[in-house]
Structure 1
Amino acid sequence: MSRESNQANDIDVDLRQLFASLARHWRRIALVTALVTIAAFLFAWSATPHYRAETRILIETRESPFTRANPAADADRPLLDQEGITSQVQVIASSDILKKVAADLNLASRREFNPSADMSLVKRLFVGAGLLRDPAEVPAEERVLSAFREKLKVYNVERSRVIVIEFSSVDPQLAAAVPNALAQAYFAVQQSAKLQSNTDATEWLQPEIANLSQRVKEAEAEVADYRAQSDLLIGQNNSVLATQQLSELSSELSRVRANRSAAEANAQSLRNGIQSGASLDSMPEVLSSPLIQRLREREVELKAQIADLSVSLLGNHPRLRALNSQLNDLEGQIRAEARKVLTGLETEARTAAAREASLISDLEQLKQVSARADDEQVELRALEREAAAQRQLLESYLTRYREAVSRGEGNYLPADARVFSTAVPPVEPYFPKVLPITIAAFVTSLLLMILITLAQELFSGRAMRPAGSHFYAVDDLAMPAQGGAVPALAPLGDLSIGHAVAALAAGNTKRALFLSPEGDESVAASVLVAREVADSGKRVLLLDLTTTGAASKPMLDGQERKGITNLLAAEAQFTDVIHADFYSEAHIIPAGTADPERAMRAAERLPIIMRSLASAYDLVVVECGPAEAASLERLEGDTTTVMLAVIDPEDPSVVEAANALEEAGYKDVVKVSPIGYRPTDVAGHRSAA
């Protein structure tokens, strides 16, 4: 029967026990660490030294502005982008360049480029077994190229136009010679590509220039023929003569109109002055007449004489009368002359009007001629543009052709890259570094051995303990004094072996604790139950906690095996103490062969072991022998059933054990008797009851 258990389910890592394992196994840790360190030192000390050198190439335009016909166009030419730089890396590592360098440096004669020369025994065995290809069957060029690629590293420095060529070899001179040779071979490939491009360009330009020259001649001839047919004569300022004449005629018409208007205005003003009898002195046309000016001068003289004579002579003096008569004649002459000026102005106005009419007629004719000339000029300009474009293209082709021919003849085709860091023979090898390798091997092996030792201690369960537990001795076991209870299954009552097997096989019980107060004779009940439940398809383990091993020995044909005492004493792990029953599908953990006193000192680990077994098996059957009821507490857990194995129910030891269980809190103890039970025969096993 079952009762609630006060056992806690949490566990802690016992750090003292965990790290004490390092002290217990320090010899093994030190030995393995020393062996690994010595092996690493011997390997590094005896390994063939390898040297590494590198050449750095800068991708840039090497063209000089003084060697280009159009330096501005070259200045605008973009450098390679990141994809272009990556492509150049692939060019340097291409098979053609590698083969050329390998041939120039005669790498095939060196042992490090011949895999068949230094094959290890293991590799020879694999080759002999047909698991690896014999290097001797590979062509020499392919072997050299494969070894070359393994030792070569070409890469682009991030966010730069720098390409690094790195090579390693057992010969420091060769380690420096190969990157430099690769750089020179790369420059040669670039120059060869430019030379080929230059040759292709000249071969293409020759017929194009000849064809284009003919097209230019034809286009210019069309321009001349059209100009002659359309009579588009060119005047000043490179304009059509008709358009120029139209402009000049328009200017002349404007001038004639202005003169006519001025003449008409002057004539009208003079006419109005003559008709009104007003003074003509204020009229600029009269004043501008030379005759009128002379008459006015004569008038002034006569007036001066009259004024002088009037002082000494009377007004009717013949001299004064003669002078006044002359003065009056002068005024008439002036007016007569003014009318002549008026007649001249009117004539000038009529002449200007006639000239204006003539100019207007001529202007209308020139407008028509100019309109036709403009249309013809549009067509002429289209022909001239075509001829100019052909001529410009021809000149561009001629310039490029002359430049290409000049560069080809002068062999001036610089590569767009330069070496700014030349490889030099290294002084120290990059491999092996004896001291760093030895130190790394020592530290790594030491840490690994420590981790392995700690992991073994954790996985074995020896470094685990219940959380917050305190222990005290009861009989021959140490039990945890913890509060709380774990609910048990409903009581099964008094059952036979068959009924007990059926109930355990069909129920959810994880732990079945058997007490056998009558000694080794009654332990057969737990053995029979474990076997029958296991043969029903459940995963069952029987844990033998008897001091004599009465439960496990029949299951192992009397053989002594490592068991629970070995596990508690940290002398074995779970895989060492779990054995298969010879007569069923059940597993068994026997009493073991370790010192019981030493095992009991680690009895606090027993609850942890029980939880581990309960998680791995469907049912854990524990044979406790004639143990005290109080000692069952540490074995309990969820869904635990306590059973009392009896042969004679009236035996005083059975009665005493039943009473003790009831006093300890185990109500309705299930009594199971093996008397009269016949085990079931299972295929592959023989019954052993």
Structure 2
Amino acid sequence: MSPKLSPPDAPSNRFSDGVDFRNVVGILSRRRSWVIGIPAVLCGIVVAYLLVAHPSYTGTAQVFVDPRDQYTPKDDPLQNSVPGDGLLLVESQLKIITSNEVLNRVIDQLNLQNDPEFNGERITIGRLVKSVIGLGKTEDRALVTLRNLRKNVATKRIDRSFVIDILASADTAPRAATLANAVATAYLEEQSGANAAFQRRTSESISSQLGKLRQEVKRGEEAVAAFKAANNLVGSRSRMVSEQQLDEANTQLTNAKTRLADAQARVRLIETIEHGDAGLEALPEAIQSAAIVQLRSRLADVSREEAQLAQIDGPNHPALQAARAQVRDAQAAIQRELKNIARSVRNSEASERTNVQNLQANFEALKKQSQANEQAMVPLRELERKAESSRVVYETFLAKAKTAEERQGIDTTNIRLISRATTPENKSWPPTMIMLAAALFAGITIGIAAALTRDAFDRPEREPDPGAVPDAPTLAPAETAAPSVLRPAMAQSRASRLAALGDELLAAPKGTTIVLVQVQRGAWLSDVALQLARGLIANRADVMLVDADLARHPTTSRLGFDRVPGLRDVLIGAADIHDVVRLHQPTAMRVVPVGLSAIGSRDPYARQALSAALKQLRAFDRVIIDGGEMGETASELGLYYMADEVVFLAEAEGGKCDDAEILVELLRHRQIKARVVIVEPDVSVAA
């Protein structure tokens, strides 16, 4: 290849890429009037506004809103709790404070309708301008006052608390404090009035239902009484008379059966005594009988007298005979008394048997009557339940009505003023220092931007030839080692300029790999790889284009392969080089796009993978690698040492081109073929 350099006296034929920030200080020094003048103008405007603006002072009052309402002794404290953390309730109070009801109270209290600060009658520049151009209109004073007051009143909740700041602005500091306190007082009065109104509406609403509920209770109780009378059901609410009679009859029958069993036992004892050898004297009734005891005592006395007479008198003595007659009479009396006792026991057993039979018959009759009443009790209980439910509802409403009536005069809202507004020391608007600092900062920023922009527009530019094609590069390859061999590149056509480098590649051996590296960033520099590949394909060469510009990858974007795997995936081992080769149908060009994966810097595996991939790609006639901008990923991956030739593309000599020359020398020192090529925009120059 014959080296070629651009002529040293050739004028710069490129358009400016922007401001050279190395000369920023010089630009700002030359155009210091912009940097100083614009901040001065803005500061002057701010000062003029500060002189004519009405000062504003802000007073702050604080109220505490407890989500839990106060409760009376009749209330359950848990019923007054607010679900959640109560922040929604507090946020709602912010809107209530600035509501029309509260603000109208303030207007009436402070007579703001006659205050020029709020009623819209104060003379201002804006109002004068509107009057002059005919835009002024007459509005209702009350609405204007309300609107202006709402603009001057603001509320906010202190973070992580239930405390609300009430902010009020006015032209004077005392007026601001008075206005803030008036808004807080009006808010508390409005809440108290709203609570009383709510209790009153509740009492009236409940009272209106009491008459209806009272009639329902009356109808229910009358239905129960009528049903009892129709079915002959007598008794209290809990128990009927028939049930009580049945229980009493059952108790009497049980007791009678017990007594009958006892009487039957005594009769069996008498029968046993009568059939045995024992006498009736063994009967418990005989032992306990007072008459038997008396007769036995008499018998003992007579027997003793008989014994005494028998010792004194003879057996036929009349006195002895009389005594013996008395003994026999006493014994006969005892036997008669024992028979009477036995007869009485038998009569008692018969009486108890008759009583049990009568009680059993009465119990059966009551039992049948109770069964009949049970069937009638089913609808009766239903009627009683309805009457009872109506009675409970009526009593509940009656108690609520009484409670609401008593609570009309009690404020249950738990909102209180915890801090009254004091006279503010400093004005809140306009913020003098902040506005001056902002004007100075904005002025300096705008001044610097304006100076740099003006300098960019004032730099001389050469008008492009209308017949030229922008973005198509002109290649003037030149090896720095032989600058004496020159060709007139400016007079060559675009095709011949690209063909020069293309012819050199066509003449190279099969599998030759060339890396194109941009010394500076430029649109025409990034287009050289595509133009060179198209020229080789036109000469029927099997070309592989590899996009190794991992930072910007313009080649991949132009060909539409941004969303497919590519070189990055090969470098991390996620894909094979043959799997990522893509065919660009319009140009029949084979391309390895940049890929999708992310790779780390200085990855030794990436170098090995790149070296293996390039060895496989040498099967193609030529391999063109777009290495991106100098100093980026291409050098880190060791790409310069894997290629047959490294070509540095520069716009002009000097600057970064000198750095490229040094890099070329280093590569040549390591036996790597390298050179610098000057690339210019493709414009035609008349001979």
Shorter-chain TM range is 0.5 to 0.7
Counterpart AA for 1:233: V
Task: Write the deviation string for residues 11-65 of structure 1: whole angstroms up to 9, x where unpaired.
Answer: xxxxxxx99x99x99999xx98xx89x9599799968654322222333577773
Structure 2 counterpart of 1:416, from 407, 413, 433: 413
Equivalent-residue separation in structure 1 for 2:79 and 2:427 (angstroms): 44
1:601 maps to none
Structure 1 position 246 matched with structure 2 position 246: yes
- Specify whether residues 73 and 511 from structure 1 end up closer, same or farther in structure 2 by C-alpha distance, changes over 3 A only: farther
How many Å apart are 1:266 and its aligned residue?
0.8
Distance 2:197 2:340 in 1: 96
After TM superposition, give the deviation of residue 92 of structure 1 in Å: 1.9
- CA apart distance, 1:234: 3.3
CA contact (8 A) 2:664 2:675 kept: no
CA distance, structure 1, for counterparts of residue 416 and residue 340 of structure 2: 104
Cα deviation, residue 288, structure 1: 2.6
1:83 aligns with 2:88: yes
1:687 to 1:315, Cα distance in 2 relative to 1, 3 A: farther
Sort the Cα spacing of 1:349 and 1:149 in 2 relative to 1 into closer, same or farther, 3 A: same
Task: Give the 3 Å change call, closer, same or farther, for CA 388–159 of structure 1 in structure 2.
Answer: farther
Contact 1:50 1:432 in 2 (8 A): yes
Do 1:515 and 1:623's aligned partners in 2 also have CA atoms closer than 8 Å?
A: no
Distance in 1 (alpha carbons) for counterparts of 2:367 and 2:164: 73
In 1: Cα distance, 2:339 partner to 2:61 partner: 112
Aligned partners of 1:49 and 1:429 also within 8 Å: no
- Contact 1:55 / 1:165 at 8 angstroms: preserved in 2? yes
Moved more, 283-292 or 415-424: 415-424
SS in 2 for 1:72: coil
Shift in alpha-carbon separation, 1:391–1:302, aligned structure 2, 3 A: same
How many residues of Structure 1 are paired with residues of Structure 2 in the alignment? 499
Please give the secondary structure, in 1, of the residue aligned with 2:409.
coil
Cα deviation digits, residues 69-122 of structure 1 (max 9, x gap): xx236873445843333223222222453355346542684448859955589x
Is contact 1:154–1:165 with CA below 8 Å preserved after alignment? yes
Distance 1:297 1:111, change over 3 A: same
Letter in 1 for 2:57: Y
Measured at CA, do residues 301 and 49 of structure 1 come closer, stay the same or move farther in structure 2, by a change above 3 Å? farther
**Residues 1:73 and 1:618: Cα distance change in structure 2 (over 3 Å):** same
Q: TM-score, normalised by structure 1?
A: 0.55
Superposition pairs for residues 181-192 of structure 1, below 5 Å? 181-192=182-193
1:57 correspondence with 2:63: yes
Does the CA contact (< 8 Å) of 2:94 and 2:156 recur in 1?
Answer: yes
Instruction: Give deviations 1:234-288, integer Å, cap 9, x for gaps.
Output: 38x9743222222222222122211211111112112222332315444211123
The structure-2 alpha-carbon separation of the partners of 1:414 and 1:402, relative to structure 1 and needing over 3 Å to count, comes to: same
User: What residue is the counterpart of 1:634 in the other structure?
Assistant: 662
The aligned runs of 1:367-382 (5 Å cut-off) are 367-382=367-382
Displacement of 1:669 in angstroms is 9.6
SS in 1 for 2:266: helix
Preserved contact between residue 89 and residue 163 of structure 1 (Cα < 8 Å): yes
Per the alignment, residue 344 of structure 2 pairs with 344
Residues 135-179 of structure 1, C-alpha deviations (whole Å, 9 max, x = no match): 868876666555544443223345544333222333222322333
The letter of the residue matching 1:365 is A
Is residue 64–residue 416 contact of structure 2 (8 Å, CA) maintained in 1? yes
Q: Which moved more, 1:201-210 or 1:334-343?
A: 201-210
Deviation at 1:295, TM superposition (A): 1.6
CA-CA distance at 1:510 after TM superposition = 11
Name the counterpart of 2:298. 298
Distance in 1 separating the partners of 2:297 and 2:480: 173
Aligned match of 1:572? none
Distance 2:96 2:674 in 1: 90
- CA 284–187 in structure 1, closer or farther in 2 if over 3 Å, else same: same
Mean Cα displacement is larger for which, 419-428 or 184-193? 184-193
* 1:83/1:610 CA distance change after superposition, 3 Å: closer
1:637/1:224 CA distance change after superposition, 3 Å = farther
Residue 420 of structure 2 aligns to a residue in which SS?
A: coil
Report the Cα offset of residue 364 of structure 1: 0.8
Aligned to 2:174: 173
Which of 615, 619, 629 is equivalent to 2:649? 619
Correspondence for 1:223: 224
Q: What is residue 102 of structure 2 aligned with on the other side?
A: 97
Identical-pair percentage:
21
Cα pair 1:50 1:169 within 8 Å, conserved: yes
Q: Does 2:165 align with 1:164?
A: yes
The unaligned stretches of length 5 or more in structure 2 are 4-20, 453-471, 500-521, 526-628, 636-646
Residues 380-419 of structure 1 aligned to structure 2 (within 5 Å): 380-398=380-398, 412=409, 414=411, 416-419=413-416
Q: Is contact 2:480–2:676 with CA below 8 Å preserved after alignment? A: no
Aligned partner of 1:76: which letter? Q
Structure 1 residues 358, 687: closer, same or farther in 2, change over 3 A?
same
Distance in 2 (CA, whole Å) between partners of 1:406 and 1:102 is: 33
1:225 maps to a residue whose letter is A
Cα distance in 2 for partners of 1:669, 1:430 equals 71
User: How big is each residue's C-alpha offset from its partner over 1:571-625, in whole Å with a ceiling of 9 and x where there is no partner?
Assistant: xxxxxxxxxxxxxxxxxxxxxxxxxxxxxxxxxxxxxx9769x99x99325558x
Counterparts in 2 of 1:204 and 1:415: CA distance versus 1, 3 Å: closer
SS in 2 for 1:91: helix
- Distance (Å, rounded) in 2 between the aligned partners of 1:669 and 1:243: 125
Aligned residue in 2 for 1:657: none
Q: Quick one: which amino acid aligns to residue 416 of structure 1?
A: T
TM-align CA RMSD? 6.1
Distance in structure 1 (CA, Å) of the matches to 2:660 and 2:202 = 102
The change in CA–CA distance for 1:531 and 1:620 in structure 2 (over 3 A counts) is farther
1-structure distance, mates of 2:479, 2:70: 96
* Deviation, structure 1 residue 414: 3.4
The structure whose RCO (Cα within 8 Å, separation 6+) is larger is 1
Determine the structure 2 residue equivalent to 1:72: 75
C-alpha distance in 2, partners of 1:178/1:376? 76
Rate the CA distance shift 1:285–1:523 in 2: closer, same or farther, 3 A. Answer: same
Q: Deviations over 1:503-543 (max 9, x none)?
A: xx899x9975456755xxx766455579878999x9558xx
**Letter of the aligned partner of 2:383 in structure 1?**
L
The separation in 2 between residues aligned to 1:514 and 1:428, in whole angstroms, is 76
The alpha-carbon distance between structure 1 residues 424 and 664, as it changes in their structure 2 partners (threshold 3 A), is closer
Q: 1:623 to 1:251 in 2, by over 3 A?
A: closer
Structure 1 residues 257 and 286, CA gap change in structure 2 (3 angstroms): same
Structure 1 residues 636 and 667: CA distance shift in structure 2, 3 A = closer
- C-alpha change, 1:529 and 1:169, in structure 2 (3 Å) is farther
1:431 aligns with 2:436: no
- SS of the equivalent of 1:358 reads helix
C-alpha distance in structure 1 between counterparts of 2:61 and 2:400, whole Å: 36
Q: Distance in 2 between matches of 1:440 and 1:512?
A: 56
Q: Residues 192-226 of structure 1, C-alpha deviation per residue, up to 9 Å, x if partnerless?
A: 54565556556655654444444343333333333
Partner Cα separation in structure 1 for residue 248 and residue 185 of structure 2: 74
Q: CA distance change for structure 1 residues 256 and 163 in 2, over 3 Å: closer, same or farther?
A: same
Partners of 1:219 and 1:383 within 8 A in 2: yes
Secondary structure of 2:75 counterpart? helix
Q: SS where residue 166 of structure 1 aligns?
A: strand
Q: Which residue of structure 1 lines up, in the alignment, with residue 578 of structure 2?
A: none
Distance 1:535 1:149 in 2: 74
- Give deviations 1:620-659, integer Å, cap 9, x for gaps: 25558xxxxx998416399x9xxxxxxxxxxxxxxxxxxx
Q: Rate the CA distance shift 1:634–1:307 in 2: closer, same or farther, 3 A.
A: farther
Within-5 A mapping of 1:103-122:
104-105=109-110, 106=112, 109-111=115-117, 118=124
| Alpha carbons 2:62, 2:163 under 8 Å: kept | yes
Aligned equivalents of 1:204 and 1:322: distance in 2?
109
Q: Which runs of 5+ in 1 are unaligned?
A: 4-17, 457-504, 542-608, 625-629, 641-661, 673-678
Q: Once the 2 structures are TM-superposed, how far is the Cα of residue 296 of structure 1 from its aligned partner?
A: 1.5
